[in-house]
Structure 1
Amino acid sequence: MLSLCLTVSLVSSLVLSANRIYAQEPVQSDGVRSPEDYLRRPVGTDFKLADWPTVSDYYRQLADQSENVLLREVGKTTEGREFLIAVISSKTNLENLDEIKKQTSIVTDPRNRSDEEKQWAINEGKVVLFVTPTMHATEAAATEMGMQFAWQLATSQEEPFRSARENIVVVITPSLNPDGVDHVVQWYREHVFTPFEGTSMTKLYQYYTGHDNNRDWFMLTQAETRHLTGLMYQEWFPQILWDVHQQGNSRERFFVPPYRDPLNPNLDPGIVAGINVLGTRAVMDMQREGLNGIATGVSYDNWWNGGNRSVPARHNTIGILTEAASVKIASPVFQEETVLGDPLGQKKYQPSNSFIQPWPGGWWRLNDIVKYELSFGRSLLASINREPEFWLRNAMEAAERSIASGKAGGPRAWLITIENRDLHAVRRLADILMASGVEVSKADAEFVADGRTYPPGTLIIWRDQPYGNYVKDLFELQKFPEGRAPYDVSGWTIPLLMGVHRVTVNHDFQANVSLLPNSGASTTEFPGDKRLADPSASNALSSLDSSSWTKLVNSLQAGTEHRFVVKGANAGLILPGAKPEEDTLPIRSVPRIGVYAPWTGSMDEGWLRWVLDEFEIPFQTLRNETIRAGRLEDLVDVIIIPDVTKVQLNHGRKPEPSPPQFSEGLEPEGAIALERFVRQGGRVIAFDDASNWMIDLLQLPLVDVTEEKSAKEFSCPGSVLRSVFEEHPFTAGLPPDIAVYFAKSTAWRVKNKEELKDVELKPETVTTLLKYAPTRVLYSGYIAKEEIIHDQMAWAVCPYGEGDVHLFGFRPHYRAWSQATFSLLFRSIFFTADKK
């Protein structure tokens, strides 16, 4: 009882203190309801969160009540909720949005514009600022901060808001992840004031990606990503984007740019300087308001591509990331100064040029985050207000430099040649480029480039366009600078990962071209797999074209059996009919597939689901309790285990406090059930850490070479590597080598005689299907001590009892980037030796 009384007392005092912080905020302005009045509590109140219906309804009211706000539904989210934007500016500006958009389009693309038109766009135009709260739904403060920021911007007669309405058009997404807002709020409400308060959810807060939704900004797989991309590069062409986030709470209270090194050379210097100026000015403004614990130049680099602030920077848009120290969703935390770490990694928590005034410790609450974010927002508006023409001119000059760089020095263009056989991958590549505002052309006639002749239909992406640097960054091989090793992604060369052959042209050339009207027109003159034109291959499918796998599934479901050709001139073709032939593998039906999903919310499991759904391959989800119940052969033929750690596989959510129905892992009953499933004829496909777990479970004669003592200095946190195939029916028809994505991944060798003492399975029964290349393994990114994985296993299959196990040392579906290796996943699902 005493504990309960203390808890109630503490909660009451916390809520009251939160109320006092906002006591001086007006609740109405010119009849426009404030968020505080609407919510009937202060914004950022401890233990309280607004769900998506509440948030979206507030923005509707704001638009109804204020002449300075327009609300628009852009489309639907992944789960079908409304994806909204609020456009906030003066009434006059909102009445002239078409003209403002024309001006920003000239700023973004000044080609073929007169000096008078360009000057008009700068002098008369308005800066467009995008604000994107709550991409990561557990970083919950920004949702209500956005409501407060929108209301102040729409109604306040104070500066900087009053001038901002005249100088700026602000486009706010109430949330970049409305689905996640609802999921997180529901979970938090169910468990607040229980032992599970503030714990992580049991599923991803974005249906397929979870936190990885901030890794989708060049591949554009998710509905939300595509909505914002279309707004930015097809309609509004903003000069500045502010991406609002939270981070861990063990160090600084708030991060603002400048970012730390290294700096990607494809970023325009004016854009980088603009990022630095706005961030540095914000530090000064926030310090003057009494906010401390702000750090710059730590944690977040300016190298990698793929995030919501990094992709805009390659589109000549200033991309600003802020990161506030988190609370436990909406529950406050108390932290002594002695437990805080220095942002620069120094032994002592102390001031530095990057961390000028450390936070002294104490209570840290949701409304503290709101307060810091609002302060940054005011500083950002004030900086734009002081010289709006400067920011427009800065963006135009960046575009002009990008265009000029395509005419002198560096690549002139990139070609997608018609001999590419994965037509689905070519169309997907053209689609993501065009959706991102890149012009893709098609040759109308034969032409010569760098001494080689190319036929009509060849795709040409010219460098001398406003987003030419963006294409360069996607298409070139990344070479991570020497010095400190990267902690995450260091390479991402998209054509390699997608299996699309591209040619870099380094010298001027002439070609008669037409702009592609849509991505579907990109392959109309590509012959694809020429073997399909042979009358003997009637109704055949090419396993080299990704779309064939969807066609195969549909045909199998319609009752047509198939066979896969493993030798000869037609190796790699999938032929209809069940006629047995010596050099074919039968494909009789779609296997019953189960995808393991832990109660920890696995992002790799989510990406796996996306790939299977995208290619219309049916599956069911298997939870821990389903596997522990056994008799898996009654449910599925194939079980796929994504990259999940051994601890999570064995013990589930422990040691984190969790509701008991979600807490357990597979150990021991689930592990035993999986072993029995394989022994009795089932197939398990595992990736990365899960592969090592399966090796331990089945006592397979393999060793992860990246974990041996000799591999102490090995490092490859996120790079594109070269791998080579071994001759085998499962790899028939594939090219000699292929690019794979290695992200802290694994490689194996067979155990030696001494190590085989306690292993029943003979090493000669392990079949290697793919190895990391014996030399020149790095395509793009960074690797240290690469010889550790030279010529080591990347994909292997091991028989076990009546079944088998496919082990991938990497993730063939990695973030849906690595389309070239999707087919390896599909082959491991569909291909099997005929046991008749």
Structure 2
Amino acid sequence: MFQFFRLVTVLLLFVQTTGWSQTLPSPKEHFGFTIGDDYQLATYTQTEAYFKKLATSDRTKLVDIGMTEEGRHQYMLIVSSPANIKKLDRYKEISQKLARAEGITKEQAMAMATEGKAIVWIDGGLHATETVGTHQLIETAWQLVSRKDPETLRILDNVVILLTHANPDGQEIVSNWYMREPKPEKRTLDYLPRLYQKYVGHDNNRDFFIMNMKESQNIGRQLFVEWIPQIMYNHHQRGPAGSVLAGPPYRDPFNYVFDPLMITGIDALGAAMINRLNAEDKPGFTRLGGSVFSTWYNGGLRTTTHFHNMIGLLTEIIGNPTPETVPLVPQRLIPNGNTPFPVTPQKWHFKQSIDYSLSLNYATLDYAARHRDELLLNIYRMGQNSIERGSSDYWTLSPKRVDAITQAYQADLKKPRSDSSARPAASEGSRGGGMPIKYYDAVLKDPKLRDPRGFIITANQTDPATTVNFVNALIKTGILIQQATADFTVAGKKYPAGSYVVKTDQAFRPHILDMFEPQDHPNDFPYPGGPPIRPYDAAGWTLAYQMNVQFDRILDAFDGPFKKLPYGELQTPKGRMDASAGAGYVLNAQANNSFIAVNDLLKSGVDVYRLPSGSTGKSSVEPGTFFIPASAKAKAALEKASREFGIDATGLAKRPSGALVKVSPMRIALWDTYGGSMPSGWVRWLMEQYHFPMNIIRAQDIDAGDLRKKYDVIVFVTRAIPPVSNSGGGTRGEGEYQMREPKTEELPAEYRPWVGRITADKSIPQLKKFLEAGGNVVTIGSSTNLAYHLGLPVKNALVEMTNAGQERPLPAEKYYIPGSILRVTLDSTQQATWGMPSQTDVYFDASPVFKLAPDAIAKGTVKPLAWFSTNKPLRSGWAWGQSYLQDGVAAFMAPVGSGKLYAFGPEITFRAQAQGTFKLLFNQLYATSVGQ
């Protein structure tokens, strides 16, 4: 009888399971085609509907993680066994506790690792034109939900899989663009008219240590606050020509703050991936030096996880719904350590890329299932290592430290041999002929060179709301922040209540150091005297520097009246509004959010003035401070701004003495182009955040003329203005400006006016007329080329003379500065630089530097705004040959007719991270006239 009931139970379960699986449609049944079919792409609307159907499975849970910038729902489909789905909260709790490693003994960690499930993140579609990413996500979800083979069941039993759509808006844009053509063979991904993320396009993968975009915030919360997976897998395109894909492990350098377990964890997963492909006879995986991808940079979806002890994986695969060809690249045909199993030239179909991606996903998930407890325990170990390093004296090695050891040794070798101890013996304190150990001790045990135990961000900031933005960037990435509840003293310095404290004795210490400390990128050359090897992205990005946050590095253990803020709980800047003000209010021009208040005041019709010379005495304020005469309307607007944006509005009993200039809004135009400019998109987002009204302007609009009738100021971000031929003025190659453009007649009518680019023969004369008629132009980065087109008395400062007596740009072997943080000196008394300190950090990315004609300043034809006053301006990153920068002008203003040209060489709005230099743009967006 027992056996009978057991058989009936099994049969019922089989019927239920069979019936359930039959209610779930396959991708072909839902979309009308098999995922990977040539010439077929799914839209996000279709994909969202399919995920909702899969969510009826007891293997899944669909989570809405937030809204996108265009107002779509962004989903994460969680897949695991039915039993695990019922206990997701517990497995999330275990993952959080082990990742943070706070107050957990090794025995408790081992018990949780035994109980828990490996958490694996797999995303797709971040870069929407990389269509393999979104479609492998669909196919992977279907396979995991529908398959019943032993491997899939083992994975589901041991792993919680987070399948996350990284860019819903982009999939909708790209798929609709591709599928608009009824004839399949004519479909193309080329000539997308706008960015596939509303504001920043491809730069959505450079946003993850600040998380300005909504999609980044949604993803970041799941990665760094909610789930903290042990493995995250970020799908991209495309691999190096002659290969199918690039994947882990990656080339050097890796960041020196990483735990070695994270790096070797990448190695292990990379081995699992390539082994599976090789076993399935799928060639073409390249790794290590076979591709450009490294683990140095922070800020990418994959790379930011590295600083959180996660095994962050990236693959870049070929593939397109339109069939393509694997090209012949002879040097990739020979097997080597980078590419053990080369692919041969052949026609390549979309389905092959989907199949490869599925194999890579299964390799990752199978590894996670087999090493579940090890992965959980290792992320705990890495967290513990970070806590221990942040709790004791610790020295992080870097190239500068190693160079210091070598220099100390070589200096001793050169000393006169006045006694037997003056010159070290090579074998002293060492074996094998290395340097004496005392040189290691002198540098790596120097108390002054220790890593900090923490950072104190004083409440006394020149820009409190921007400081809160920085603190919130840390909070969004899972960092534990403390705040002082009373005044306190550390290392002899008194700090006020409200100051923020960031201690390094926490699991994500690598990320903390990376946000506060300078990056020390190695001098990376293939051979002595050779050209520099370009970093994958930036070389230096220290966010505290970019945001001009004042902080102190604390080298010894410290404590105080500190409260721990809950993980993930964002802070709100607290403004101050005087209850009464007889004459009016002043707003600090050093605070970015003051510009929000001013723009709202101007929009509501309230008069706003600036104080060109500031004021002294009891109501001392800096030059450029805003003054708002007292009125009921002004008071109401400032109360709102103080409450919502952390504005300090200081009341004045008497009207300030000295000159006043009245502020008026300008009619602002921002350049953009067909296909979209990422730097322009960032500035558009900024202007929306800071309430500057503006219009987009493109080449055809400029070429049409009559600009002064429509606009007062035009902003050109980098890569808008082409170089002047044979001028030596440009710092970037001509090819950067030669974008492929579609044939206008082949485009939908609404996009035809967007086509075109700035040209010397049509556009520049119209810009000159605009300036001469009283318009202003702001140029950033390479668009400062406009100064050369206009014939202003400035030259490229970064040149040398050839043997033939001609100038040429400095070669990269002598001078090379990729994206890094440099320090400049400013004339902060000028209207263009109001609110800026006398020195500031700027983001510099092979940026232009100028030399002024000898009499340019005396004649008033050019006014320097910022310059390099030292031969060592590097603050963070890599600056080979930085001494060439000394006395070079980084920014200037030049009158042109009745208008003004502003030229800012550094990237003053870079990715909305460079918040310390936003004012260099904002100041130029107001008209001023003599006040009353």
Whole-Å separation in 1 of the counterparts to 2:663 and 2:846:
37
Find the counterpart in structure 2 of residue 11 from structure 1: none
Q: Which moved more, 1:102-111 or 1:121-130?
A: 102-111
Task: Using the TM superposition, give the Cα deviation of residue 496 of structure 1 relative to its aligned residue in structure 2, in angstroms.
Answer: 0.8
Give per-residue Cα distances to partners, 1:739-760, cap 9 Å, x unaligned. 000012111112469xx9xxxx
Find the counterpart in structure 1 of residue 541 from structure 2: 492
Asked if 1:402 is matched to 2:402, the reply is no
Task: Using the TM superposition, give the Cα deviation of residue 696 of structure 1 relative to its aligned residue in structure 2, in angstroms.
Answer: 3.1
Residue 113 of structure 1 aligns with an amino acid whose one-letter code is I
Find the counterpart in structure 2 of residue 481 from structure 1: 522
Asked if 1:362 is matched to 2:379, the reply is no
Whole-Å separation in 1 of the counterparts to 2:507 and 2:799:
45
Secondary structure of 2:510 counterpart: helix
Tell me if the contact between 1:196 and 1:657 (Cα under 8 Å) persists in the aligned partners.
no
> Could you say if the C-alpha distance between residues 762 and 183 of structure 1 is closer, same or farther in structure 2, counting changes exceeding 3 Å?
farther
Map 1:507-586 → 2, pairs under 5 A: 507-516=556-565, 538-567=584-613, 568-569=615-616, 570=621, 571-577=623-629, 584=659, 586=661
> Could you say if the C-alpha distance between residues 719 and 537 of structure 1 is closer, same or farther in structure 2, counting changes exceeding 3 Å?
farther
Tell me if the contact between 2:772 and 2:897 (Cα under 8 Å) persists in the aligned partners.
yes
Asked if 1:37 is matched to 2:37, the reply is no
Find the counterpart in structure 1 of residue 54 from structure 2: 62
Residue 425 of structure 1 aligns with an amino acid whose one-letter code is T
Whole-Å separation in 2 of the counterparts to 1:527 and 1:657:
53
Whole-Å separation in 2 of the counterparts to 1:190 and 1:744:
40
Give per-residue Cα distances to partners, 1:12-61, cap 9 Å, x unaligned. xxxxxxxxxxxxxx9x9544222133222221112111011111111111
Find the counterpart in structure 2 of residue 665 from structure 1: 757
Give per-residue Cα distances to partners, 1:166-201, cap 9 Å, x unaligned. 00000111x211101111112222357687833131
Task: Using the TM superposition, give the Cα deviation of residue 533 of structure 1 relative to its aligned residue in structure 2, in angstroms.
Answer: 11
Tell me if the contact between 1:563 and 1:584 (Cα under 8 Å) persists in the aligned partners.
no
Whole-Å separation in 2 of the counterparts to 1:522 and 1:449:
26
Find the counterpart in structure 1 of residue 477 from structure 2: 436
Task: Using the TM superposition, give the Cα deviation of residue 83 of structure 1 relative to its aligned residue in structure 2, in angstroms.
Answer: 0.4
Whole-Å separation in 1 of the counterparts to 2:655 and 2:496:
40
Asked if 1:217 is matched to 2:269, the reply is no
Tell me if the contact between 1:565 and 1:732 (Cα under 8 Å) persists in the aligned partners.
no
Give per-residue Cα distances to partners, 1:116-143, cap 9 Å, x unaligned. 5423311110111111101000000121
Map 1:88-127 → 2, pairs under 5 A: 88-114=79-105, 117-127=108-118
Corresponding residue pairs, total: 789
> Could you say if the C-alpha distance between residues 827 and 183 of structure 1 is closer, same or farther in structure 2, counting changes exceeding 3 Å?
same
Task: Using the TM superposition, give the Cα deviation of residue 727 of structure 1 relative to its aligned residue in structure 2, in angstroms.
Answer: 5.0
Residue 221 of structure 1 aligns with an amino acid whose one-letter code is N
Find the counterpart in structure 2 of residue 679 from structure 1: 772
Task: Using the TM superposition, give the Cα deviation of residue 489 of structure 1 relative to its aligned residue in structure 2, in angstroms.
Answer: 0.3
Asked if 1:717 is matched to 2:818, the reply is yes
Map 1:298-317 → 2, pairs under 5 A: 298-317=291-310
Task: Using the TM superposition, give the Cα deviation of residue 341 of structure 1 relative to its aligned residue in structure 2, in angstroms.
Answer: 6.8
Q: 1:185 aligns with which of 164, 175, 179?
A: 175
Whole-Å separation in 2 of the counterparts to 1:167 and 1:103:
14
> Could you say if the C-alpha distance between residues 236 and 654 of structure 1 is closer, same or farther in structure 2, counting changes exceeding 3 Å?
closer
Find the counterpart in structure 1 of residue 312 from structure 2: 319
Map 1:604-623 → 2, pairs under 5 A: 604-623=679-698
Secondary structure of 1:630 counterpart: coil
> Could you say if the C-alpha distance between residues 281 and 32 of structure 1 is closer, same or farther in structure 2, counting changes exceeding 3 Å?
same
Residue 460 of structure 2 aligns with an amino acid whose one-letter code is E
Map 1:162-561 → 2, pairs under 5 A: 162-173=153-164, 175-190=165-180, 197-247=188-238, 250-297=241-288, 298-327=291-320, 330-337=321-328, 340=329, 342=331, 349-408=333-392, 409=394, 410-484=451-525, 485=532, 486-487=534-535, 488-516=537-565, 538-561=584-607
> Could you say if the C-alpha distance between residues 129 and 519 of structure 1 is closer, same or farther in structure 2, counting changes exceeding 3 Å?
closer
Whole-Å separation in 2 of the counterparts to 1:152 and 1:580:
72
Whole-Å separation in 2 of the counterparts to 1:471 and 1:411:
10
Task: Using the TM superposition, give the Cα deviation of residue 546 of structure 1 relative to its aligned residue in structure 2, in angstroms.
Answer: 1.1
> Could you say if the C-alpha distance between residues 482 and 336 of structure 1 is closer, same or farther in structure 2, counting changes exceeding 3 Å?
closer
Give per-residue Cα distances to partners, 1:655-703, cap 9 Å, x unaligned. 44443425422333333222211111111111111111x1233221212
Find the counterpart in structure 2 of residue 590 from structure 1: 665
> Could you say if the C-alpha distance between residues 425 and 274 of structure 1 is closer, same or farther in structure 2, counting changes exceeding 3 Å?
same
TM-score normalised to the size of structure 2? 0.80
Task: Using the TM superposition, give the Cα deviation of residue 452 of structure 1 relative to its aligned residue in structure 2, in angstroms.
Answer: 2.9
Residue 510 of structure 1 aligns with an amino acid whose one-letter code is D
> Could you say if the C-alpha distance between residues 829 and 313 of structure 1 is closer, same or farther in structure 2, counting changes exceeding 3 Å?
same
> Could you say if the C-alpha distance between residues 773 and 787 of structure 1 is closer, same or farther in structure 2, counting changes exceeding 3 Å?
same
Task: Using the TM superposition, give the Cα deviation of residue 236 of structure 1 relative to its aligned residue in structure 2, in angstroms.
Answer: 1.3
Tell me if the contact between 2:546 and 2:843 (Cα under 8 Å) persists in the aligned partners.
yes
Task: Using the TM superposition, give the Cα deviation of residue 106 of structure 1 relative to its aligned residue in structure 2, in angstroms.
Answer: 1.8
Q: Which moved more, 1:814-823 or 1:456-465?
A: 456-465
> Could you say if the C-alpha distance between residues 733 and 83 of structure 1 is closer, same or farther in structure 2, counting changes exceeding 3 Å?
closer
Residue 778 of structure 2 aligns with an amino acid whose one-letter code is I
Find the counterpart in structure 2 of residue 744 from structure 1: 846
Tell me if the contact between 1:195 and 1:657 (Cα under 8 Å) persists in the aligned partners.
no
> Could you say if the C-alpha distance between residues 648 and 635 of structure 1 is closer, same or farther in structure 2, counting changes exceeding 3 Å?
farther
Find the counterpart in structure 2 of residue 84 from structure 1: 75
Whole-Å separation in 2 of the counterparts to 1:788 and 1:202:
40
Find the counterpart in structure 2 of residue 9 from structure 1: none
Tell me if the contact between 1:637 and 1:683 (Cα under 8 Å) persists in the aligned partners.
yes
Q: 1:780 aligns with which of 872, 876, 892?
A: 876
Give per-residue Cα distances to partners, 1:720-767, cap 9 Å, x unaligned. 0001112543134532100000012111112469xx9xxxx9964111
> Could you say if the C-alpha distance between residues 252 and 763 of structure 1 is closer, same or farther in structure 2, counting changes exceeding 3 Å?
farther
Task: Using the TM superposition, give the Cα deviation of residue 249 of structure 1 relative to its aligned residue in structure 2, in angstroms.
Answer: 5.2
* Percent of residue pairs identical: 27
Residue 771 of structure 1 aligns with an amino acid whose one-letter code is W
> Could you say if the C-alpha distance between residues 519 and 503 of structure 1 is closer, same or farther in structure 2, counting changes exceeding 3 Å?
farther
Residue 265 of structure 1 aligns with an amino acid whose one-letter code is Y
Tell me if the contact between 1:196 and 1:658 (Cα under 8 Å) persists in the aligned partners.
no
Residue 56 of structure 1 aligns with an amino acid whose one-letter code is E
Residue 918 of structure 2 aligns with an amino acid whose one-letter code is F
Give per-residue Cα distances to partners, 1:572-611, cap 9 Å, x unaligned. 3111249999954624321110111111311000111111
Tell me if the contact between 1:254 and 1:322 (Cα under 8 Å) persists in the aligned partners.
yes
Secondary structure of 1:257 counterpart: strand
Whole-Å separation in 1 of the counterparts to 2:659 and 2:172:
50
Residue 177 of structure 1 aligns with an amino acid whose one-letter code is N
Tell me if the contact between 1:572 and 1:732 (Cα under 8 Å) persists in the aligned partners.
yes
Whole-Å separation in 2 of the counterparts to 1:542 and 1:558:
20
Task: Using the TM superposition, give the Cα deviation of residue 252 of structure 1 relative to its aligned residue in structure 2, in angstroms.
Answer: 2.2
Residue 659 of structure 1 aligns with an amino acid whose one-letter code is T
Residue 550 of structure 1 aligns with an amino acid whose one-letter code is I
In the alignment, structure 1 segments of 5+ residues that lack a partner are 1-25, 343-347
Tell me if the contact between 2:472 and 2:571 (Cα under 8 Å) persists in the aligned partners.
no
Tell me if the contact between 2:611 and 2:661 (Cα under 8 Å) persists in the aligned partners.
no
Give per-residue Cα distances to partners, 1:38-88, cap 9 Å, x unaligned. 222221112111011111111111112x21111121221100011001010
Whole-Å separation in 1 of the counterparts to 2:185 and 2:902:
42
Tell me if the contact between 1:131 and 1:171 (Cα under 8 Å) persists in the aligned partners.
yes
Find the counterpart in structure 2 of residue 8 from structure 1: none
Residue 302 of structure 1 aligns with an amino acid whose one-letter code is T
Whole-Å separation in 1 of the counterparts to 2:841 and 2:255:
22
| Larger Rg belongs to | 2
Find the counterpart in structure 2 of residue 641 from structure 1: 716
